[in-house]
Amino acid sequence: MLKVRNLTKIFNLGTINENRVLSNFNLHIKEKEFVSVIGGNGSGKTTLLNMIAGVYMPESGQIILDSKDISKMPEYKRSAFMGRVFQDPMRGTAGDMEIMENLAIANRRGKVRGLRWGVKKEEKDFFGEYLKLLGLGLETRLCVKVGLLSGGQRQALTLLMATLQKPKILLLDEHTAALDPKTAVKVLNLTEELVAKQQLTTIMITHNMKDAIRLGNRLIMMHEGKVVYDVSGEEKKSLKVTDLLDRFEGISDRMLLA
Ligand SMILES: Nc1ncnc2c1ncn2[C@@H]1O[C@H](COP(=O)(O)OP(=O)(O)O)[C@@H](O)[C@H]1O
Ligand SMILES: [Mg+2]
């Protein structure tokens, strides 16, 4: 499904601040795989997602999605078939637009535009039904401006929008880190539900090792731009947080990961 091949990303190349974040990085992800990614601060996790999404171009290497080389495809084109949710709840939605308008934009993603902008009745009903999934009562507030929602509600809405048109891959970057613990659990459960329902190929970065173990069927640990641990199946299911810390201790200070 996704092949990241010999990918190299160097920030500020040729300057005193040169920073080689990914160096000949390789990662293959199968269709319907749900990969959680952990690793210390600055280990290159966000950069990896940014490279997959086309935010930055690589110095060398390829990104192949569905047997197609998308390495040189600009971000806006990739966004037609990728779903993204960021740590910052403000980033994924337009605060000065209504819930319904936000959903309408998400629903038109990757489709030919130029048609009428109005939201059709069927579409409105569909959004209402879809919002019920959240269990937040938003289905009765379709005309409310998103800026009035709480961070958790907004993040749940972003997640819904990212998956409204089934993405080829869903990219989550610490998307519950800015939420209070209770809301974080809700959004995480919703993540699990949406991914399972649509059988989405997913990469989820998290700093929460319990979440990384609980969600997904594969776990990778990154350190200094490399995959230092890659586990799936039964072995992943039986992992404990202490196992991850022990692994990490072999290469760095376990405090960095914790
Ligand atoms: N746009 C950028 N310009 C320069 N350096 C960057 C940029 N984005 C990330 N970096 C650097 O790349 C390294 C990895 O960062 P990042 O991928 O955000 O790590 P992580 O998400 O694992 O914490 C860090 O040293 C960071 O400072
Ligand atoms: Mg990051």
Domain extent listing, the chain? 2-93+152-257
CA 205 – CA 255 distance, rounded (Å) = 18
State which of 8, 21, 50 you would mutate to test the pocket of ligand 1, scoring each by most atoms of that ligand within 8 A of its C-beta. 21
Cα distance from N-terminal residue to C-terminal residue, the chain? 31
Ligand positioned closest to the Cα atom of 38: 1
- Nearest atom, ligand 1, residue 45 CA: 22
Q: What is the pLDDT of residue 35?
A: 98
| Separation of CA 44 and ligand 2 centre (Å) | 7
Report the nearest-CA residue for atom 13 of ligand 1.
42
What is the atom index within ligand 1 of the atom nearest the CA of 39? Answer: 22
pLDDT of amino acid 157:
94
Q: What share of the chain is helix, strand, coil (3-state, %, to 5)?
A: 35, 25, 40
| 108: number of Cβ within 10 Å | 15
Q: What local confidence, expressed as pLDDT, does residue 116 receive? A: 60
| Atom 27 in ligand 1: residue holding the nearest Cα | 42
Distance 46 CA to ligand 1 centre (A): 7
- Burial label for 47, CB within 10 Å (0-12, 13-18, 19+), is buried
Provide the pLDDT for residue 255.
60
Quick check: helix, strand or coil at residue 224? coil
**pLDDT, position 243:** 92
Residue in 202, 204, 210, 160 with CA at minimum distance from that of residue 185 = 210
Per-residue model confidence as pLDDT tens for the chain (258 residues)? 999 999 999 999 999 999 999 999 999 999 999 999 999 999 999 999 999 999 999 999 999 999 999 999 999 999 999 999 999 988 989 999 999 999 999 988 877 665 566 777 888 899 999 898 888 889 999 999 999 999 989 999 999 999 999 999 999 999 999 998 988 998 999 999 999 999 999 999 999 999 999 999 999 999 999 999 999 999 999 999 999 998 887 777 666 665
* Residue 24 half-sphere exposure toward CB, CA atoms < 13 A: 0
Q: Which atom of ligand 1 is nearest to the CA of 56?
A: 1
Say which CATH topology domain 2-93+152-257 has: Rossmann fold (3.40.50)
Ligand 2 centroid to Cα of residue 79, in Å, is 19
Q: Which ligand is nearest to the CA of 177?
A: 2
Q: What is the DSSP letter of 146?
A: G
Find the 45 Cα to ligand 2 centroid distance in Å.
5
Distance CA 29, CA 235 (A): 18
What pTM, to 2 d.p., does this model score? Answer: 0.93
Q: How far is the CA of 121 from the centre of ligand 1 (A)?
A: 44
Whole-number Å distance between alpha carbons of 188 and 257: 20
- Any residues with CB less than 8 A from the CB of 151 and at least 6 apart, and which? 89, 178, 179, 183
Atom 25 of ligand 1, residue of closest alpha carbon: 42
Ligand 2 centre to CA of 130 (Å) is: 30
Residues whose beta carbon lies within 6 Å of some atom of ligand 1 = 11-12, 19, 21, 39, 41-47
Report how far ligand 2's centroid is from the alpha carbon of 175 (Å). 10
> Which secondary-structure segment (H or E) carries 22?
strand 19-29
